[in-house]
Amino acid sequence: MSYHSWLSLNKMTGNMLSVVPRLRRIQLISPRIQMSRLKFTTTIGNQPQGAGDDTRAWGPPFVGQESAYFISVNRNKKSMAVNLKDPRGARIITELAEVCDVLVENYLPGKLSKMGLSYQDLATVAPRLIYCSISGYGQTGPQSHKPGYDSIASAISGMMHITGPENGDPVRPGVAMTDLATGLYAHGAILAALLQRQKTGKGVHIDCNLLSSQVACLTHIASNYLNTKKEAKRWGTAHESIVPYQGFKTSDGFLVVAAGNDQQFVKVCKVLSLDNLADDPKYKTNTLRVQHREELLQALSKRFSEDTTDEWIRRFDGTGVPVGPINNIQQVFSDPQVSHNGLILEMEHPTSGTIQVPGPAVRFSNFEFDRPLPPPVIGQHTVQVLRDTLGYNDDVIHELLKLKTIEQHEVQL
């Protein structure tokens, strides 16, 4: 199969040679976009001396010299260290853009224009380039100048407002869901742009941001408010519009039960030996169950507490009612289905030794993923990319190293 080349500009990291960007204040988005690809991404950036991506320092825990956070989302990439404030460094990016299909960047809007690396600048020399800008709030508008982190966008977008216990305070989701959603939106937009380019022969500028991604992800919560003006609230593990659809405490843990229709509710009652609830007119439809939520859940909760999680799972097996335990992370990676789906990848890192990271979420029928490459050390591939991709000779490379336009960090492979 053919591959597209992507270039990612990251203010804190280095240059990336496959196409996908990261913004200065957005630490997870671009890696997730890039990791969704099948080949390689080259990261290029304007970085503090030796510092690299912020997430390299996010820890503990660390695996050798690298943070577990960084290695989780940065495999299959090549890293260049380029000073973008140096016109010679900016020229390197321009030359890479000419041979790449996609460029992803996550600088504050307007910053790259000052370096001559805006979409308008690069489109003149690379009219087929797909240029994806990721920011906190968008490329234009009253807040476009502000930096953004996942947690800030999660708060502003209403995500935190609807997350947490019913009568408790707002809670940050356990992983950076806003970053992840933005990365996936950007990934889909880039693929659509590549398909469009096959028809038009022209590139495009994509504006993807944390705020828009998370507000779009509010889905039915947003629709509820926009159409009824009813303010949303926190429901813990429960669902505002479906009952029962939540976690229940068992004698030794927790079980989530999702009765998405009236037939499934009848089956839940049968498994629990509570047929009287299925026959009760108050619970005949989901709308009625929502109206009488409190007393119904009280009866169900009492029954679930009388046996173990495993026993309830055994009883529900084959009924067609979706149920599942609330696993801790050790239990997740002990699950045989997780292993079967290839969700544990092992590779050799140049400084940290053997590492394991989560595997890809999708599989294809006609090919398998190549053996993954470990996350790169900062500037590990600077010379390689300049020589092999741009055809720079050794004299030019040595001069750029001497001028500190670029950096090459050697690793023992």
Domain-ending residue, one of 325, 359, 394: 325
Are residues 157 and 105 located together in one domain of the fold?
yes
Other residues' Cβ atoms within 10 Å of the Cβ of residue 280:
17
Are residues 355 and 264 located together in one domain of the fold?
no
Annotated active-site residue in 179, 207, 279, 370 = 179
Are residues 283 and 316 located together in one domain of the fold?
yes
Domain-ending residue, one of 325, 350, 374: 325
CATH code: domain of residue 278: 3.30.1540.10
Helices 309-316 and 262-271, axial angle in degrees (round to 10): 120
Please give the backbone phi and psi of residue 398, each rounded to the nearest 5 degrees, phi first. Answer: -60, -35
Domain assignment of residue 203, given as a range: 3-217+342-407
User: What's the predicted TM-score (pTM) here?
Assistant: 0.86
- Chain segment 63-111, per-residue pLDDT in tens: 888 888 888 888 888 888 898 889 999 999 999 999 999 999 999 999 9
Are residues 148 and 113 located together in one domain of the fold?
yes
Are residues 148 and 283 located together in one domain of the fold?
no
The pLDDT assigned to 78 comes to: 86
Cis peptide before 61 (omega within 30 of 0): yes
pLDDT at 187 over 90: yes
Report the pLDDT averaged over residues 242-258: 98
Q: Which amino acid is at 221?
A: I
Report the pLDDT averaged over residues 132-156: 95
pLDDT at 47 over 80: no
Please name every residue paired with 355 in a beta bridge, in sequence order, or none if there are none. Answer: 347
Are residues 284 and 349 located together in one domain of the fold?
no
| CB within 8 Å of 150: residues ≥ 6 apart | 26, 27, 28, 176, 177, 178, 179, 210
Q: Considering the domain boundaries, does residue 230 fall inside one? A: no
Q: Considering the domain boundaries, does residue 296 fall inside one? A: yes
Q: Is 179 a catalytic residue?
A: yes
The pLDDT assigned to 410 comes to: 78
Instruction: Count structural domains, the chain.
Output: 2
Q: In angstroms, how far apart are the furthest CA atoms of the chain?
A: 85
Q: CA 399, CA 255: separation in Å to the nearest integer?
A: 63
Are residues 321 and 357 located together in one domain of the fold?
no
Taking the alpha carbons of 368, 373, 375, 380 in that order, is the dihedral positive or negative?
negative
Q: CA 31, CA 38: separation in Å to the nearest integer?
A: 13
pLDDT at 14 over 50: no
Are residues 67 and 132 located together in one domain of the fold?
yes
pLDDT at 40 over 90: no
Q: Considering the domain boundaries, does residue 237 fall inside one? A: no
Alpha helices in 258-407 (DSSP H): 262-271, 275-279, 286-291, 293-304, 309-316, 329-332, 336-340, 382-388, 394-402
Domain-ending residue, one of 325, 351, 379: 325
Q: Considering the domain boundaries, does residue 238 fall inside one? A: no
Give the DSSP letter string of 1-54. Answer: -----EEEEBTTS-EESSS--EETT-SSHHHHHHHTSSS-EEEEE---TTT--G
